[in-house]
Chains A and B, each alone.
Chain A
């Protein structure tokens, strides 16, 4: 019995058969995967999940891949949920957790969505994977395509961080560096997909790809002992994962997997240098997200024309969350703060998340006993150049290999 019934337009409700497409022909609204919830409700339990592998595939029943389909996996997911007591102490938060998703196979959240996307695409007979990417997605698509033995074309903005380009290139994909921003790359790929038989992870097979995001919130709830937190801080680029986290919460509640039925407040985090969703959230027209030209060190989330921006604003409002943004200096300070207090080295996008957490805490958003989870979605080595160029070694000294030199230079 197939668990996926088809695709449905999020706006006008028009239904489609399962296929590699992402926009409604009637209204251009986004298409979402539709599951046979009645059948799944009889099947999905905490026990059925807990008996699965320690990866995203323990939630396979709630992902758009049939039981018999071989999955393309590198062991993604089930990343540490760290109780962040030292960071919490600095911010006045007693129950703060960091979901460290930089511990994925290619060191970012994107392994979740790509494992699902490529598993689905391969099962449908696609032979070539592609994507438009700010770096992390290209990294994951290149690695998982290599793992699956599929051809791969990744499109990136030409000014990507050198570390990201190296860690994409090593998997030997066709690497297309485009003179332009991510939004330019994305537009080019949106036009290209009409003339290629490729599966663009984040475009024509987006309804399937996006579903992988849910596993981050499933895990968070499971690792909290099948409880939902009070608030989750989520970095916002296109807004795609933000929307799926809301869906994951709905499924956790509807399937009786968690105690209680109060959705957590979902709060979005952006860099002020690319904050179209934040701008709209705080304007008198939150439903009109106007594009911007990105200018920020948080390049992995630098999307100036975010496709799901209005949904982020709706969900943040509906759940009692907010959308906040931080400056470039606040991003770097937050990267250092997380590293200094918790031993976790995150990339600039994680600096945005922790920066927003820190800003909201200092502004008195919380009493202090709420359960708050921050999603840290990428590893610091991906954007190490940012710290290196900003005096990244504040307590570094140079000495001769003698006791005298050590005593002169180092105070202990």
Chain B
């Protein structure tokens, strides 16, 4: 099982849990699994078009997933997925 690290502002969604284990093949699947267990995460992490929101940084084993395969990044056992709020975010919106 891979596990998510949940940041303070989102722990209300995870009933206070700091780490949450999920089984999935890729990051997109992991977010689906997280949302199935604690509903609300998908909405916070993904925008209307299903992409990662601009103001949320997701790191797979300390690598920014946007520098790699994004939501298609393969996830395996013992991987750590960290959700970190951008220092000062910005909602992804089309002009």
Please determine whether chains A and B interact with each other in the same assembly: yes
Known: A27-B91, A286-B95, A311-B90. Is A190-B67 also a contact (CB below 8 A)? no
CA distance A202 to B5 in the complex (A): 22
Stretch at the interface among B21-29, B31-39, B52-60, B71-79: B52-60
Known: A29-B55, A286-B95, A310-B54. Is A191-B89 also a contact (CB below 8 A)? no
A187 touches B57 (CB 8 A): yes
Size bracket, chain B contacts: 20 to 34
A11 touches B57 (CB 8 A): no
B87 touches A11 (CB 8 A): no
Known: A194-B8, A291-B64, A291-B66. Is A11-B84 also a contact (CB below 8 A)? no
- Encoded as 1 (CB less than 8 Å from any B CB) or 0, chain A from 279 to 297 comes to 0000000111111110000
Chain A nearest CB, measured from B69 CB (Å): 13
Q: Which of A12, A286, A308 contacts B88 (CB 8 A)?
A: A308
Chain B residues with CB below 8 A from A292, complex form: 67
Chain B residues with CB below 8 A from A184, complex form: 62
Chain B residues with CB below 8 A from A309, complex form: 90
- Encoded as 1 (CB less than 8 Å from any B CB) or 0, chain A from 8 to 24 comes to 00111000000000111
Chain A residues with CB below 8 A from B64, complex form: 183, 187, 291, 305
B66 touches A290 (CB 8 A): yes
* A139 on the B face (CB < 8 A): no
Chain A nearest CB, measured from B54 CB (Å): 6
* A186 on the B face (CB < 8 A): yes
B92 touches A288 (CB 8 A): yes
- Which of A10, A206, A307, A308 has the most B CB atoms < 10 Å from its CB? A307
Chain A nearest CB, measured from B75 CB (Å): 19
A287 touches B94 (CB 8 A): yes
Known: A28-B55, A288-B54. Is A206-B90 also a contact (CB below 8 A)? no
Chain B residues with CB below 8 A from A203, complex form: 87
* A377 on the B face (CB < 8 A): no
CA distance A390 to B95 in the complex (A): 44
Chain A nearest CB, measured from B87 CB (Å): 4
Q: Which of A307, A310, A314 contacts B87 (CB 8 A)?
A: A307
CA distance A238 to B53 in the complex (A): 17
CA distance A136 to B86 in the complex (A): 21
Within 8 A of B (CB), among A54-103: none
A23 touches B89 (CB 8 A): yes
B92 touches A191 (CB 8 A): no
* A298 on the B face (CB < 8 A): no
CA distance A203 to B85 in the complex (A): 10
Chain B nearest CB, measured from A134 CB (Å): 13
Q: Which of A10, A22, A27, A305 contacts B57 (CB 8 A)?
A: A305
- Encoded as 1 (CB less than 8 Å from any A CB) or 0, chain B from 35 to 50 comes to 0000000001000000
B88 touches A190 (CB 8 A): no
Chain A nearest CB, measured from B62 CB (Å): 7
* A30 on the B face (CB < 8 A): yes
Q: Which of B56, B59, B90, B91 contacts A187 (CB 8 A)?
A: B59
Known: A191-B82, A194-B8, A293-B67. Is A238-B88 also a contact (CB below 8 A)? yes
Chain A residues with CB below 8 A from B95, complex form: 286-287, 314
CA distance A305 to B85 in the complex (A): 12
Chain B residues with CB below 8 A from A293, complex form: 67
* A240 on the B face (CB < 8 A): yes
Closest to B87 in A: A307
Q: Which of B7, B44, B86, B92 contacts A287 (CB 8 A)?
A: B92
Chain A residues with CB below 8 A from B59, complex form: 187
Closest to B12 in A: A25
B67 touches A291 (CB 8 A): yes
- Encoded as 1 (CB less than 8 Å from any B CB) or 0, chain A from 161 to 194 comes to 0000000000000000000000110110011001
Closest to A240 in B: B88
Chain B residues with CB below 8 A from A286, complex form: 95
CA distance A292 to B64 in the complex (A): 10
Known: A25-B9, A28-B56, A287-B94. Is A307-B66 also a contact (CB below 8 A)? no
Within 8 A of B (CB), among A182-234: 183-184, 186-187, 190-191, 194, 202-203, 206, 210
Chain A nearest CB, measured from B36 CB (Å): 22
Instruction: Knowing that A10-B90, A187-B59, A210-B88 touch, tell me 4 more A-B residue pairs with CB under 8 angstroms.
Output: A23-B85, A28-B9, A28-B86, A314-B95
**Which A residues contact B (CB, under 8 angstroms)?**
10-12, 22-25, 27-30, 183-184, 186-187, 190-191, 194, 202-203, 206, 210, 238, 240, 286-293, 305, 307-311, 314
4 closest residue pairs by CB, A with B: A30-B88, A307-B87, A307-B88, A310-B90
